[in-house]
Amino acid sequence: MQGYLIAAGLVVVAMIGLVVIWKVTKSLVRLLFWFVALLAVAIAAWWLLGKFGILAPPPFIPI
């Protein structure tokens, strides 16, 4: 029974979080766009730093 209450509480917290994000950004699509854009910039920076030997190269992108 306690496991169900914890799961239900997590669902409620997740739903409240989604509502807050929705209200703040007015669009989850916009939020996803900026997340993907920032992720792409971070991966590109990691790749460039790996190419010049400053950082270890990313394991998932061949140099």
What is the spatial distance between Cα 18 and Cα 13, in angstroms, rounded to a whole number?
9
45 within a domain of the structure (yes/no): yes
**What is the reported pTM?**
0.52
61 within a domain of the structure (yes/no): no
pLDDT at 41: 92
The pLDDT tens digits for 1-54 are 677 677 777 888 888 887 887 777 777 777 788 889 999 999 888 888 888 888
58 within a domain of the structure (yes/no): no
11 within a domain of the structure (yes/no): yes
- What is the tally of structural domains in the chain? 1
pLDDT at 63: 57
56 within a domain of the structure (yes/no): no
